[in-house]
């Protein structure tokens, strides 16, 4: 895969139909391009939990080691989730890149699938991306299954 890096100048933030603010491209992007780095401070997952305790919105990106997160402070932190995304993410040497999953036209909002994990309830991260295949949640499909099982077990626990 030849990944050409786009100029950050071709991205802009403006209000989004999906959620608050979104990240848009002003130029066409070929498939498989490194669009933008998920830039930010690398901290431990515990530090991340502390930092955003009680807040609804976080800008944390979990790294593959399961122990560290990136506290996003760049354009990529504003990219919204979609169940039918035009980008995917890839961790390369400890850095996270947003990579175009298909050709993207100028003016399109960039999205990727958050595939969230470590939730507490299935309805904790609802999705309203509007995609035909929207699964109604930003959790990863396996995580939704785990959380649903968990929430079925809880009433039994309370009764005992
Ligand atoms: Zn969705």
Residue 126 lies in a domain: yes
Residue 135 lies in a domain: yes
**How many angstroms is it from 132 CA to the middle of ligand 1?**
8
Question: So what's the pLDDT on residue 90?
Answer: 97
Residue 119 lies in a domain: yes
pLDDT (tens digit per residue) in 34-53: 999 999 999 999 999 999 98
**How many angstroms is it from 158 CA to the middle of ligand 1?**
32
Range(s) of the domain holding residue 123: 115-154
Residue 144 lies in a domain: yes
When the pLDDT of each residue in the chain is averaged and rounded to a whole number, the result is: 89
pLDDT (tens digit per residue) in 104-148: 999 999 999 999 988 888 888 999 899 999 999 999 999 999 999
pLDDT (tens digit per residue) in 80-101: 999 999 999 999 998 999 999 9
Residue 123 lies in a domain: yes
Question: So what's the pLDDT on residue 95?
Answer: 94
pLDDT band at residue 1 under the 50/70/90 scheme: very low
pLDDT band at residue 55 under the 50/70/90 scheme: confident
Per the structure, how many domains does the chain have?
Answer: 1
Residue 79 lies in a domain: no
Residue 147 lies in a domain: yes
Contacts 24+ apart (CB under 8 A), 116-123: 116/140, 116/143, 117/62, 117/143, 118/62, 118/143, 119/143, 119/147, 120/147, 121/147, 121/150, 121/151, 122/147, 122/148, 122/151
Q: Higher-confidence residue: 158 or 13?
A: 13
Residue 30 lies in a domain: no
**How many angstroms is it from 20 CA to the middle of ligand 1?**
15
**How many angstroms is it from 128 CA to the middle of ligand 1?**
5
Question: So what's the pLDDT on residue 4?
Answer: 56
């Amino acid at each position: 895969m030849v990944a050409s890096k786009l100029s950050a100048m071709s991205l802009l933030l403006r209000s989004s139909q999906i959620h608050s603010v979104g990240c848009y491209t002003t130029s066409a992007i070929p498939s498989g391009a490194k669009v933008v780095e998920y830039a930010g401070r690398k901290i431990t997952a515990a530090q991340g939990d502390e930092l955003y305790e009680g807040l609804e919105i976080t800008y944390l990106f979990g790294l593959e080691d399961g122990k560290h997160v990136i506290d996003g402070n760049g354009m990529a932190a504003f990219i919204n989730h979609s169940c039918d995304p035009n980008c995917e993410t890839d961790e390369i040497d400890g850095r996270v890149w947003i990579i175009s999953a298909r050709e993207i036209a100028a003016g399109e909002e960039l999205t990727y699938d958050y595939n969230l994990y470590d939730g507490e309830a299935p309805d904790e991260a609802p999705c309203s991306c509007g995609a035909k295949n929207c699964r109604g949640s930003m959790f990863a499909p396996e995580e939704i299954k785990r959380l649903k099982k968990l929430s079925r077990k809880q009433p039994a626990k309370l009764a005992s």
